[in-house]
Amino acid sequence: MAKAASLADELYGKLKADIMSGAILPGSKLPSQKDIADSEDVSRTVVREAVARLEAQGYAVSRQGSGVYVSEGARYRAFQVTREELTELSDIIKLLEMRLAIETEMAGLAAARRDQDDVVAMRLALKRMRDASDDSAASALADTQFHMAVARATKNDYFVRFIDFLGVRLVPPRSLYLRDQPELAHADYACKVHGEHEAVLSAIVRMDIAGAREAARQHMMESLMRHSELSDAIGTADAAG
């Protein structure tokens, strides 16, 4: 069973790579399960599982009585960030590196284009974050709401859609960073993160574009540095053990 699952994983990866590279074009019909099984020297069970995964991920669509076809928008489904991927520090660090550039420019645009409703929404999110400092889940939700308010202030729907797509993945889980640290460490962490957000809001309120960019960049750099240092510490401890 494990071998079949491994073969299905390999076949799924190969078919997906062919779709993403354009070797199998959008809208084109996939070979029959028998043909794939013969060409790849695997069982039809393996093929069925691999093709089912392609369909589940949106890369292919089954048409009754006709066969399985590559989705027209398959190549635009490549970017995904699932919650399951963000259980390790290394994955969180990768996401923070990407957000560093995005959040910096997003804050600058928000400072240039924000209106009073945007400011009210940001302030409300920060109040919720401060009030929930001892509740990591509620604090993370308020943190996400703050970034969504900044995204809306850009008046660029693509920023809004991107931040909405990340959702709770936007905020690295405090429990992963602090692990077995005492409650005082959690309180200090919440206070520091809140202060970083306050700096972003202050610049946006003043419509200080350069200041907003710098505050957002500093916030992301601090988060990236915190998690990178923890990753290094864990790696050192594991090596010593």
Q: Which residues of 88-123 are buried (b: 16+ CB within 10 A; e: fewer)?
A: ebebbbebbeebbebbbbbbbbbbebbeeebbebbe
The answer to whether residue 175 scores a pLDDT higher than 70 is no
- Domain positions in the chain are 2-77, 83-240
CA separation for the pair 149, 147 (Å, rounded) = 5
Summarize pLDDT for 189-216 with one digit per residue, the tens.
778 889 999 999 999 999 999 999 999 9
1.10.10.10, 2.20.25.90, 3.40.50.970, 1.20.120.530: which CATH number matches 83-240? 1.20.120.530
Determine contact, residues 50/31, Cβ cutoff 8 Å: no
Does the structural domain 2-77 have CATH classification 1.10.10.10? yes
4-50 confidence digits (pLDDT tens): 668 888 998 899 888 887 888 888 999 999 999 999 999 999 999 99
